[in-house]
Structure 1
Amino acid sequence: MYHSKITGLGFYVPDNVVTNDDLSKVIDTNDEWIQERTGIQERRHIIPGQDTTTSMGVKAAKIAIERAGIDKNDIDFIVFATLSPDYYFPGPGVLVQRDLGIGTVGALDVRNQCSGFIYALSVADQYIKSGMYKNVLVIGSEVHSAGLDMTTRGRGVSVIFGDGAGAAIVSREEDLTKGILSTHLHSEGVHAEELIVKAPGMCGRWVTDILKDNDPDDETYFPYMNGQFVFKNAVVRFAEVINEGLEANNLQVSDIDMLIPHQANLRISQFIQKKFGLNDDQVYNNIMKYGNTTAASVPIALTEAWELGKIKSGDTVVLAAFGSGFTWASAIIKW
């Protein structure tokens, strides 16, 4: 019987900083409007030709591998979470295997949007607990900027999202009091269309149709979000899945040393912080700097919190996410 533990962390964001004032030059919006609704001050967008979903994931992975103190060839398996792959297919997992020059290990792609990294972490955890693998590379990476409606029509969504990547090495741990104690995964597909990109899809708008029609008013290939509905569901599901993880491990809210929530909206994080009575030192948020980076947000925030010394050996760390699907998830970790 084994536990798994995170032995290395890394993240990468593009150099291109896009402030709220920058967006106001192309969208009818302003800094006050964006900050009031989301808490975001700036985000990163790739410069086309310099970064991709895969290349950012590789850069984050290299940092995580070095910090884990292993060789790339010690990696037994790759799990890559994203909603914005380089290609329609194949997914980026195999591209990471190629670009890192790792042997012919398995590579799995996870499509669970904002919950993607925790779902991927859970997959790695189960593989290691079963004894099948010893070191699993888990990546969350997103390029949103290439698929946003950067007009006033799309401002409710386009101001929120940013680009970036985070990575973790998950390794075998024989001390059962340490590492990933449990993960908890849920979905509610009845609300799938409340946060969605419909096209291109095999039962929706096909690429050939979009190209043929060349309709500037076709919004099916831009993200749609029912913001108020998503917010109301998010605050409920965040609380439920955090409590589920605590109860499964006989822990109390007072045992939480660090909560890393998915960086969806600062208002959601603040609501959850207040609901659980956590102080500012127990919750880490960086959406102000990076926006919502979907599957990358949890590993970016986790890495940054660790780099800043906010996570120490022996701490109880809680990861939680909610997003499109709807899907939501949590992980309880003894650092």
Structure 2
Amino acid sequence: MKARIAGTGMYVPPKVVSNFDLEKIMDTTDEWIRQRSGIETRHHVEGQGTADLAYEATLKALADAKCEAKDLDLIILATLSADHMFPGSSALLQAKLGLETTPSMDLRAQCSGFLYSLNVAKAFIESGVYKRILVVGSETHSPVLDFTTRGRDVAVLFGDGAGAVVVEAADDKSSSSVGNIIIHSQGQFADRLWIERPGTQGGTWLTETHLAEGKQYPYMEGRYVFKHAIERLQEVVKEILEKENLKLDDIDHFLFHQANIRINEKVAELMKIPLEKCPSNIQKYGNCSAASIPMLLDETVRSGRVKRGDKLLLAAFGAGFTWAAGVVQF
């Protein structure tokens, strides 16, 4: 039994925020943002949450897979920006889909969350436990960003959006399949990219001191994360190619997590991957964390750039640190 991606979908909220819009509220410039990240615009929610975005992306993925919500055996939602501390956004999504007792769960692996979730779906399907699983990456970053000069290094990078895939069982003769997926984490670097508060560490949740120090906003050691991302992405790409007994030339498209175009360009340069094999949409959407890879997959499929039968390599690096890579015969 194999697992295959039967359908894809994505959604971003209507509001577009340009670099020029950010110039008006913080000390930054369009040139500065584009030179360092490649980002020109991003989308921000207005009155929507993570489950709302996930719902819209899910409807498109279900339609593409030619199935209905009632056909799903399991929902896995990857996010670092849940609607509530609990319950998980997957439960809210399940209710929005009109389902009664279909199991659902959130998975928190930050920017690597989609690949972690796809790996879980693949294992459930190949073991025969489930036949059809919805995997969603959905993020609403904008409500928790610091849109002042203090927070500009992070605030300019992130956008809101969702991407979804329907993963279903296929027989061993199927030309479409989810191949091996390799996942890693290294928690010793957790505080290099995180939102420290609110949280239970140290026996406190959120104090006036935390608020005054901006602990409720994302913090990133940019250069450190940049360096590690380039190193780990190269390593995991090589690792998955070896696992699959493939060469770089065997891959039709490299779908890298859309965190920073400079990271992906450097990885491609060092590994001698032609840039034309590395589609990108970070220019329009910014970093959508767990949603970025399924969003990119959906866009490249719907544009005709990725076709059935193409061999894809998906790779991500994010907070935790976490990183992952997988091969998909689309």
Normalised by the length of structure 1, the TM-score is 0.96
SS at match of 1:43: strand
Q: How far did residue 280 of structure 1 move?
A: 3.1
Instruction: Measure how far apart 1:3 and its partner are.
Output: 1.1
Q: Counterpart in 1 of 2:123?
A: 126
Q: Secondary structure at the match of 2:35?
A: helix
Q: For the Cα contact (< 8 Å) 2:39–2:286, is it kept in 1?
A: yes
In structure 1, the partner of 2:21 is 22
Aligned-partner SS, 2:312: strand
| Residues 1:53 and 2:42 are matched in the alignment | no
In 1, are the aligned partners of 2:163 and 2:298 still within 8 Å (CA)?
Answer: yes
Matches within 5 A, 1:161-240: 161-175=158-172, 178-204=176-202, 206-207=204-205, 209-210=206-207, 213=208, 217-240=212-235
Aligned counterpart for 1:244 among listed residues 239, 245, 261: 239
Counterparts of residues 1-335 of structure 1 (less than 5 Å):
2-47=1-46, 49=47, 51-175=48-172, 178-204=176-202, 206-207=204-205, 209-210=206-207, 213=208, 217-335=212-330
Query: CA contact under 8 A between 1:205 and 1:220: conserved in structure 2?
Result: no
CA distance in 1, matches of 2:158, 2:183: 24
Query: 2:274, 2:304 → 1: CA distance?
Result: 17
Instruction: Report how far residue 162 of structure 1 moved.
Output: 0.4
| C-alpha distance in 2 between matches for 1:294 and 1:146 | 15
The unaligned stretches of length 5 or more in structure 1 are none
Structure 2 unpaired stretches of 5+: none
CA contact (8 A) 2:265 2:275 kept: no
Deviation for aligned residue 1:205: 8.1
Confirm or deny: 8 A CA contact 1:27 1:152 kept in the other structure: yes
CA 1:197–1:216: 2 relative to 1, 3 Å? closer
Cα deviation per residue 1:202-253 (whole Å; 9 max; x = unaligned)?
Answer: 115845x43xx27763211111100000011001111111111111111000
Q: Which string of whole-angstrom CA distances, capped at 9 and with x for unpartnered residues, describes residues 115-174 of structure 1?
A: 001101110000000000010000100010000011001111110000000000000011
1:191 partner letter: F
- Mean CA deviation greater in 238-247 or 286-295: 238-247
- Aligned AA for 1:183? I
- Shift in Å, 1:275: 2.1
Q: What count of residue pairs does the alignment treat as equivalent?
A: 329
Letter in 2 for 1:193: D
Structure 2 Cα separation of the partners of residues 44 and 274 of structure 1: 29
SS of aligned partner of 1:303: helix
Contact 2:5/2:176 (8 A) holds in 1:
no
Following superposition, the deviation at residue 279 of structure 1 comes to: 2.2
RMSD: 1.3
Identity of aligned residues (%): 44
What amino acid maps onto 2:115 in structure 1?
Answer: I
**Do 1:114 and 1:322's aligned partners in 2 also have CA atoms closer than 8 Å?**
yes
Q: Is the 8 A contact 2:73 2:133 kept in 1?
A: yes
